[in-house]
């Protein structure tokens, strides 16, 4: 098997990426990154994804993937956006981030709670090319959390395209359902031809 390193210390992301990659490139093994965490001082998803992928490629000598992602809420002008992981402070407390966002939207009516999950994936090959792709998953935010699947903002994100009578948050989806439809899956579709050329 060929190996590709995923530039994250988040085991949830490694597991999710491994499932997505296996659907397209079952011969690629996604391994976690054990090196130093670079300073993500970019102001866009693309900039931060490249910072992480470059660091992982340099540390391991392997082709590196890095995802920078978050939720962008229309009524908040696209925030939290690139600051999604730190929305409630530098502790990266997912529960606190979710609660703060719900509190900020508490007086916003359902039709105005539109949002998108955005995933930007960078692929950096040591001494080789760099690529950046993006996937967007439109939906809206529920008024309260539901479901214990996924992570981050999944329990309040309701993707578009569901039967209105049976809508569920991503927190209520199975991992297989999410991996087939998510913003990361959409970004990976654009990345698959680049991985095929590795």
Which residue ranges make up the annotated binding site for substrate?
8-13, 69, 151-154, 178, 183-184
* Cα angle: 131, vertex 42, 160; to 5 degrees: 70
28: alpha, beta or left? (left if phi > 0; alpha if psi -120 to 50): beta
Active site residues: 68
Cβ–Cβ < 8 Å for 140, 110? yes
Sequence-separated (6 or more) residues with CB below 8 Å from residue 187: 67, 119, 120, 121, 133, 134, 135
On whether the CB atoms of residues 33 and 9 are closer than 8 A, the answer is yes
Residue 72 sits at the vertex; the CA angle it makes with 40 and 180, to the nearest 5 degrees, is 90
Report which DSSP code applies to 85.
G
Q: Which residue has the tokens 């965490």?
A: 37
Tell me how far apart the alpha carbons of residues 165 and 110 are, in angstroms, rounded to a whole number: 15
């Amino acid at each position: 098997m060929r190996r590709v390193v995923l530039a994250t210390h988040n085991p949830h992301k490694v597991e999710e990426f491994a499932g997505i990659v296996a659907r397209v490139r079952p011969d690629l093994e996604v391994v976690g990154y054990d090196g130093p965490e670079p300073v993500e001082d970019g102001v866009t998803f693309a900039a931060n994804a490249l910072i992480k992928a470059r660091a992982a490629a340099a540390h391991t000598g392997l082709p590196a993937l890095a995802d920078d992602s978050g939720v962008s809420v229309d009524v908040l002008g696209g925030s939290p956006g690139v600051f999604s992981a730190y929305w409630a402070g530098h502790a990266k407390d997912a529960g606190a981030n979710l609660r703060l966002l719900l509190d900020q939207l508490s007086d916003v009516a359902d039709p105005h709670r539109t949002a998108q999950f955005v995933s930007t994936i960078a692929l950096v090959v040591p001494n080789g090319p760099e690529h950046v792709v993006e996937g967007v998953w439109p939906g809206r935010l529920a008024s309260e959390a539901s479901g214990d699947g996924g992570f981050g903002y999944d329990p309040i994100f309701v993707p578009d395209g569901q039967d209105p009578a049976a809508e569920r948050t991503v927190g209520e989806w199975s991992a297989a359902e999410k991996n087939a439809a998510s913003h990361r899956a959409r970004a990976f579709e654009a990345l698959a031809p680049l991985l095929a050329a590795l």
